[in-house]
């Protein structure tokens, strides 16, 4: 009986009857009856010393059972399908995450900061992690690289890799990549590129400079001046397609060595040392042929941040501390004065090496904003570990704004910026060995916190002397909108493993963080097409449109017929998709009248009037007859017409020459209208040098005249004469109404009969791909694509006050709205 009483789980304060028990008796012995106090005190003493043991153990909770013993292994397991960025944990706590392009990315902040992000871009600084952009390195002879890149790019679209303005000018360029020798068809997507400066690099520290000088055997980075290096940055949606195109183009020029991703199956956010990565970094360079090309994937070698806004420049100046400690072997006799604003150091083994790194930093500090610098300027600097200068609390960005006001008297474009140096982008970040060494020499957070805890004065600066890490960084200027500077800023490129160190330093100094939604919003405000949404002729753009169509139609069919719009009655032929091929095909079958010059007008300008065509005859856009009889033209209720462009599909027109002519026609100058007092006339457009230009789409931007704002899938149509007359009589004219169509009550299956152009009361020339309310302009804005033939017909119409105006109607409305149109 005594043993049974000892095994009982009943405590002494449970001995009294229930009506005499008190809640405080469990911890206060004096609340117990006098006869039980001694035994209760003994139990309390045993509990304090851990002598009271319970024979039965409690079962662990489900959360405890599922908790992994190694968090890093768990993170690696969760990245098997979608990779994480190095800042993923930080974003996942504060932002909505989505799975796109093989990554787990931040969509938007959870604080619903749509207007706050716009204010940051306009007045302060918006920070975005764009490390998902992929980099590909091409190494070899300059002539071979240029010859290979000419096969996948075209000078018609603008400056390409072979342009002189990017060679040895330390500038980043942008172009459109195509499949090998397929221009203007089969576009891949927009790419950014940068050439490594031919001068010797900045080195991250004096020790590395000395090792470069004393190095005699093995691979010497300073002796690679005979090889050119090209970095190509591609969006992850088209990375594999672009990579294959680069390899194919290089193989047609010279023998090519291809190096794939080093750690495609590992955790890119893991900052620890990787043996495989280290072995690959020390790979024998003899594998590279002296006369061949090497294509190397650098997807996981870099971290890239984008800072947008007028205070992005001041924020970087406040955050980055340049390492200006001189080398032990530097002497005054070695210094050579090359420019009044930049100093160089000449060394026999390393050639011309820029040693005074503070000169570039001081030059950049004298500029008020990033928009004052040349477009695409690059600066390479060795920066001290920003964790050493991190304050304990988060500061406001208003401090930087006050500094900007004090520096308002500084010149906006100093003389040193006009003479932008050729070696400003020199940095050891261009070399894999230096990047790997920088990653391995990083001090861990645990060790850094232990050093802080040993400080005599808490919060004071750590003095590591020679133990501090020096990080090579590359700054790339983003120009933004010409004239206003909206959307300008900097891109900060770092070696992998250093993302959180710089990210926390930027956030603690007042930068506001954005995601993919903010990136789309900035592109719309700047009137720039956003990839892949606004690139309908690329494979990535088609996949994006297909996903939107599937998602939209599935959501539409979830609602009952009485709770969803009837698109058949609204006159919307394709509410979820973009029928670009059918649109181009129907306008190509219609043809366009000839545009030829007449006598000069009162303003000494050539007037080009639209000649009327005879019934049953269509004339081509280049003045040649297409010979399509009237019975071949589309009629209402007839099936779709076969393509008459040699069987080739549509493409987006990117020829700078033709786009400039169209842009001059749509952007009529105010002083010409006032001086002439008459309507403008069509401009001559010669398409003979561009193959199959008639089957192309033109990217345009729309700005609403009065009310309304366009949404994706909105219809762009040509106004009628009555619409122009109503606009001429009243500037506040809101637009016409589309008559209600006779369609099915249940529009789950839209009718495929009839023509696309004539499905509404106004002729359709295009569709909106992205649109919303523009906070920068205070009205609706959109990016749309129009058929070239339909756009030329629109510009040939007589318009009030010389303005090119179109009608825009959302898919769920009958109301047309008027909008200005301009060619991008």
What is the per-residue pLDDT across 83-135, written as a single tens digit (0 to 9) for each? Answer: 999 999 999 999 999 999 999 999 999 987 788 899 999 999 999 999 999 99
* Alpha carbon of residue 455 to chain centroid: 42
User: Is residue 791 assigned to a domain?
Assistant: yes
CB within 8 Å of 5: residues ≥ 6 apart: none
Per-residue pLDDT of 17-72, as tens digits, reads: 887 777 777 778 888 888 888 888 888 887 766 654 544 556 778 887 777 777 87
Per-residue pLDDT of 342-361, as tens digits, reads: 232 223 233 333 434 444 55
User: Is residue 736 assigned to a domain?
Assistant: yes
Closest CA to 705 of 720, 723, 722, 721: 723
Q: State the distance between the two ends of the chain, measured CA to CA, in whole angstroms.
A: 95
Number of domains the chain is built from: 2
The pLDDT of 609-638, averaged and rounded, is 36
Res. 754 pLDDT band, cuts 50 70 90: low
The number of beta carbons lying within 10 Å of the beta carbon of residue 213 is 18
User: Is residue 454 assigned to a domain?
Assistant: no
The number of beta carbons lying within 10 Å of the beta carbon of residue 455 is 12
CATH number of the domain enclosing 543 = 2.40.30.110
C-alpha 327/C-alpha 21 separation (Å) is 80
The number of beta carbons lying within 10 Å of the beta carbon of residue 146 is 17
Structure tokens at 464: 């590591």
Whole-number pLDDT of residue 11: 75
Alpha carbon distances (Å) from 498 to 207, 302, 318:
21, 9, 18
User: Is residue 398 assigned to a domain?
Assistant: no
What share of the chain in percent tops pLDDT 90?
40
C-alpha 642/C-alpha 586 separation (Å) is 9
User: Is residue 662 assigned to a domain?
Assistant: yes
> Phi/psi at 192 (nearest 5 deg)?
-115, 145
Mean of all residue pLDDT scores within the chain: 76
Residue 442 has pLDDT above 80, yes or no: yes
Structure tokens at 573: 């032929």
User: Is residue 676 assigned to a domain?
Assistant: no
Which residues does residue 266 pair with via DSSP β-bridges, in sequence order? Answer: none
User: Is residue 701 assigned to a domain?
Assistant: yes
Longest dimension (CA), the chain: 125
C-alpha 305/C-alpha 384 separation (Å) is 18
> Phi/psi at 476 (nearest 5 deg)?
-125, 125
Per-residue pLDDT of 198-256, as tens digits, reads: 754 444 444 444 444 344 334 444 445 568 999 999 999 999 999 999 999 999 998 98
Residue 291 has pLDDT above 60, yes or no: yes
Per-residue pLDDT of 530-577, as tens digits, reads: 999 999 999 999 999 999 999 999 999 999 999 999 999 999 999 999
Res. 691 pLDDT band, cuts 50 70 90: low
Please, is 397 exposed, middle or buried when counting C-beta atoms within 10 Å of its C-beta (0-12, 13-18, 19+)? buried
User: Is residue 790 assigned to a domain?
Assistant: yes
The reported pTM is: 0.78
The number of beta carbons lying within 10 Å of the beta carbon of residue 759 is 18
Please provide the DSSP assignment of 554-596 as one string: HHHHHS-GGGS--HHHHT-S-SSS--HHHHHHHHHHH----EE
Q: Domain span at residue 46? A: 12-57
C-alpha 348/C-alpha 341 separation (Å) is 23
C-alpha 666/C-alpha 654 separation (Å) is 16
293-297 and 256-259 as β-strands: parallel, antiparallel, unpaired?
Answer: parallel
* Nearest-10 Cα torsion for 686, 691, 693, 697: -140
- What is the dihedral sign for C-alpha 642, 648, 649, 652? negative
The number of beta carbons lying within 10 Å of the beta carbon of residue 672 is 14
The pLDDT of 472-483, averaged and rounded, is 88
């Amino acid at each position: 009986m005594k043993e049974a009483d000892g095994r009982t789980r009943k405590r002494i304060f449970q001995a009294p009857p229930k009506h005499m028990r008190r809640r405080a008796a469990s911890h206060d012995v004096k609340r117990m009856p006098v006869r039980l106090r001694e035994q209760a005190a003994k139990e309390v003493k045993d509990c304090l010393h851990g002598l009271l043991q319970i024979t039965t153990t409690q079962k662990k909770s489900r959360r405890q059972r599922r908790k992994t013993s190694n968090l890093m292994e768990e993170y690696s397991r969760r990245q098997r399908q979608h990779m994480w960025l190095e800042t993923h944990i930080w974003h996942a706590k504060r932002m909505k995450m989505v799975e796109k392009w093989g990554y787990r990315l931040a969509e938007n902040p959870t604080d619903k900061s749509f207007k706050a992000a716009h204010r940051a871009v306009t007045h302060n600084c918006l920070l975005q992690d764009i490390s998902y952009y992929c980099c590909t390195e091409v190494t070899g002879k300059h002539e071979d690289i240029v010859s290979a890149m000419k096969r996948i790019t075209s000078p018609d679209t603008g400056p390409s890799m072979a342009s002189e303005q990017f060679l040895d000018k330390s500038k980043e360029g942008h172009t459109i990549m195509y499949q090998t020798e397929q221009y203007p068809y089969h576009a891949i997507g927009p790419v950014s590129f940068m050439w490594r400066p031919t001068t010797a690099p900045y080195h991250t520290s004096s020790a590395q400079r000395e090792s470069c000088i004393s190095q005699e055997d093995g691979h010497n980075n300073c002796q690679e001046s005979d090889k050119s290096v090209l970095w190509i940055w591609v969006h992850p949606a088209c990375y594999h397609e672009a990579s294959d195109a680069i390899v194919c183009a290089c193989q047609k020029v010279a023998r090519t060595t291809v190096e794939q991703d080093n750690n495609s199956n590992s955790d890119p956010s893991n900052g620890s040392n990787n043996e495989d990565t280290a072995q690959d970094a020390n790979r024998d360079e003899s594998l590279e042929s002296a006369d061949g090309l090497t294509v190397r994937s650098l997807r996981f070698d870099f971290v890239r941040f984008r800072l947008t806004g007028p205070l992005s420049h001041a924020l970087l100046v406040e955050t980055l501390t340049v390492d200006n400690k001189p080398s032990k072997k530097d002497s005054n006799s070695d210094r050579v004065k090359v420019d009044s604003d930049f100093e160089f150091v000449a060394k026999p083994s390393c050639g011309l090496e820029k040693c005074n790194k503070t000169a570039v930093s001081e030059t950049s500090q004298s500029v008020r904003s990033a928009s004052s610098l040349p477009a695409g300027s690059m600066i390479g600097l060795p920066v001290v570990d920003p964790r050493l200068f991190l304050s304990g609390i988060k500061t406001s960005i208003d401090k930087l704004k006050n500094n900007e006001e004090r520096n308002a008297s500084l010149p906006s474009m100093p003389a040193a910026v006009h003479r932008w140096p050729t070696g400003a982008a020199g940095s050891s970040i261009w070399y894999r060995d230096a990047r790997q060494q920088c990653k391995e020499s990083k001090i861990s957070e645990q060790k850094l916190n232990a050093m802080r805890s040993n400080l005599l004065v808490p919060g004071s600066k750590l003095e590591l002397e020679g133990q501090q890490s020096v990080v090579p960084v590359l700054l790339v200027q983003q120009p933004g909108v010409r004239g206003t500077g909206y959307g300008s800023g900097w891109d900060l490129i770092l070696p992998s493993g250093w993302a959180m160190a710089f990210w926390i330093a930027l956030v603690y100094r007042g930068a506001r963080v954005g995601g993919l939604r903010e990136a789309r919003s900035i592109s719309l405000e700047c009137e720039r097409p956003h990839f892949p949404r606004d690139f309908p002729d690329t494979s990535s753009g088609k996949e994006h449109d297909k996903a939107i169509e599937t998602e939209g139609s599935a959501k539409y069919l979830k609602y009952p017929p009485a709770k969803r719009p009837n698109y058949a009655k609204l006159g919307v032929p394709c509410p979820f998709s973009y029928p670009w091929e059918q649109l181009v095909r129907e306008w190509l079958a219609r043809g366009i009248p000839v545009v030829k010059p007449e006598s000069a007008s009162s303003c000494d300008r050539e007037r080009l009037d639209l000649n009327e065509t005879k019934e049953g005859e269509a004339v081509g856009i280049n003045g040649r007859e297409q010979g399509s009889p009237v019975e071949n033209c589309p009629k209402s209720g007839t099936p779709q017409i076969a393509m008459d462009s040699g069987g080739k599909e549509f493409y987006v027109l990117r020829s700078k020459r033709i786009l400039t002519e169209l842009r001059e026609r749509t952007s009529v100058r105010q002083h010409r209208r006032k001086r002439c007092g008459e309507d403008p006339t069509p401009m001559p457009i010669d398409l003979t040098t561009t193959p199959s230009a008639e089957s192309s789409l033109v990217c345009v931007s729309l700005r609403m005249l009065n009310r309304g704002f366009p949404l994706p899938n909105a219809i762009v149509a040509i106004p009628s004469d009555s619409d122009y007359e109503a606009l001429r009589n009243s500037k506040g004219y809101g637009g016409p109404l589309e008559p209600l169509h006779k369609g099915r009550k249940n529009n789950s299956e839209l009718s495929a009969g009839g023509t696309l152009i004539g499905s509404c009361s106004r002729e359709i020339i295009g569709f909106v791909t992205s649109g919303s309310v523009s906070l920068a302009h205070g009205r609706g804005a959109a990016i749309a694509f129009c058929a070239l033939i339909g756009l030329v017909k629109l510009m040939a119409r007589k318009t009030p006050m010389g303005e090119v105006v179109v009608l825009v109607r959302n898919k769920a409305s009958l109301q047309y709205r008027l909008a200005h149109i301009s060619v991008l």
